[in-house]
Chains A and B, each alone.
Chain A
Amino acid sequence: MTIDLENLPIGAFFEDVSGAIKSCNKLYLKTLGINNGNSPRSWREMIDLEDEMSTQKEWNEATNDKKSKHIKCRLKKPNGNIIRVDIRANPLLDKSGNLQGYTGTLIDITNQAMFEELLERFKKAVEKTDSQIIFTDAEGIVVFANDAVEKLTGFTSGEIVGTKAGKLWGGLMDAEYYTKLWQKIKIEKLPFDAEIINKKKNGETYFAQINITPVLDSKGEVEFFVGIERDITYFKEMDRVKNEFISITSHQLRTPLSSIKWLCELFWNGDLKGLSNDQKEIMQKVQNENDRLIKLVNSLLNISRIESDKIVITPILTNIPQLVDKVLDDFKELIKSKKQTVEIKFPVGTPQLFLDTKLVGEALSNLISNAHKYTPEGGRLWVKGKVIGNELIISVTDNGIGIPVNDQHRIFEKFFRAENALLKQTNGSGLGLYFVKWVTESQGGRVWFESTENVGTTFYLAFPITHKN
């Protein structure tokens, strides 16, 4: 029985000892992109430069031993394209054992090789990355854990695989945390992103940022979970130290600041008869600067408390128009001194809201202070309220210097101050609007603004009306 080379599903060839192709099938020609002629080109003439030395060496060694060959290399086709091929060849010997040539097969494995290479890279990336990565089945049983998991937790991959994720290193959060996590990834089939405290094999605890993503099959069912964990203990500690530093420093600063405040008060209550106007003005400036420092320290304290989750929100039934009146009362003299006018407008029967009155008062105070500061003499301020849908929207408007378009996207950032504000007023901390945003959003509200440079600005606070009374 003879085999027809043409019927083979792969390239096939026969070459003599000199390497000349004596016979080949169409798939051989097609794979290499060459024409049939009296003597079709040998694949060996087409080896890509990068593989040439090593491939020729491998081939020659095998030839000397009259052995079978299995070679993988890159070939350069006449059109310049590089392909990867898998070549297997067997020696053809005559009756005396002399080598007559080789019969061989040739397969284009370019796609497969690229896929394998990519897969290998993915595998390496997952195994070697600094983040802890685990894969679990749909029930949360670990099927894979990368090197970083062992490095961080101290548990080997062998110890982890087969256990329920987190069984060995978790369990320190309250039950509600894990219920929420499972609800999110398994029931809602959405990624879960949060901070967590876990423990290592040696019992040491660490802070981590975790992200668990459910991977769904074509029917939308959870096929497996990918969990990525990043050790953030160092950053947490840095943050704690920073906040503690701010907090302690602020308290220490407040002690002399309050003494100066009272000494000034005593001074003004005393006998001022012998003082010149200059002396009084100097004393007034001392007092004003001290008040400025007090405000700055209070802002810093607020920020450090926000960041260390130490502010407790205490909602009580709050009458916003009354609160606005009270806040504006503190600005009466300042507003008068700049000959500004204020218009207050709230609808009759404005609903009272359950809010932390003190915090919202401070937020409104920051907005009104900005409106006053960044509006020139003789300017106008408006504080209004409006019920739209299920929200009370409070707006604070001025016809002041406005916020430059380029600065608008950063206006709620901590310590950020707009360029024109810096030129106008040096005494701002850049903490006011950050605080406003936090106060509003931490109580379910929204904050936004509209501003045109040299025309004016409106800040809006929208709070949900959850309890009408």
Chain B
Amino acid sequence: MNKTPTLLLVEDEAPAVFAIEKYLTNAGFSVLTAFSAQEGLKTALESRPDAIILDVMMPAESGLDILPELRADSWGQDAKVIVFSNLSDDKHKALANKYNVDGYLIKTDTSLKDLENAIKQLLPKK
């Protein structure tokens, strides 16, 4: 039996967490959640999820702020990261790309189905 893929959702907006977590759980993923960037980094390094869905604008620190530390980690350097944000400007995209993220999706332009497909693309084929 294949292991259920684990995802880490780093997102501070409760309604968004509710919808994404529920949808991805229904789609067969195990979903961990973190409500801040630092909590996200800690959970990621401890739990080593198969992919991280990372919001940008969060209180205290932005999601992009934890990328240098994540990439400096021996596991974290190859961790799959999808940035999931409503910041669609080139400056943030360029910053994310500097840390080799695996995707940058704009929330309002992305359905949960699109998100699921993007995650599946990243995970090893069964």
Contacts and interface: CB of A to CB of B under 8 A. Distances in A.
A259 B90 contact: no
B57 A251 contact: yes
A116 interface: no
Contacts of A3: none
Contacts of A266: 19, 22-23, 112
A310 to B, nearest CB: 6
Contacts of B57: 251
Interface stretch (A105-113, A209-217, A293-301, A380-388): A293-301
B12 to A, nearest CB: 10
Contact of B89 (A257, A263, A305): A305
A49 interface: no
Contact of A265 (B13, B23, B90, B109): B23
A251 B87 contact: yes
Interface residues of A, number: 21
Contact of A312 (B22, B90, B109, B110): B90
B23 A258 contact: no
B26 interface: yes
Contact of A262 (B23, B86, B87, B90): B23
Contact of B19 (A262, A301, A310): A262
Interface in A225-280: 251, 254-259, 261-263, 265-266, 269
B19 A263 contact: yes
Given A255-B13, A266-B22, A261 B89 contact: no
Interface string B1-45: 000000000000101101110110010000000000000000000
B108 A310 contact: no
A369 to B, nearest CB: 15
Name the 8 nearest CB pairs between A and B, nearest first: A262-B19, A258-B107, A254-B86, A259-B15, A312-B90, A294-B108, A258-B108, A259-B16
The SS class assigned to the B binding surface is helix
Contacts of B15: 256, 259, 263
A193 B25 CA distance: 59
Query: In the complex, which range does the number of interface residues on chain B fall in?
Result: 20 to 34
B47 interface: no
15 contacts: A254-B108, A255-B107, A258-B16, A258-B86, A258-B110, A259-B13, A259-B19, A262-B16, A265-B19, A265-B111, A265-B113, A269-B23, A294-B109, A297-B108, A310-B89
A251 B88 CA distance: 9
A284 B33 CA distance: 30
A302 to B, nearest CB: 9
Contact of B108 (A257, A305, A311, A312): A257
Contacts of A254: 86, 107-108
Contacts of A257: 108
B108 A298 contact: yes
B112 A262 contact: yes
Nearest to B115: A262
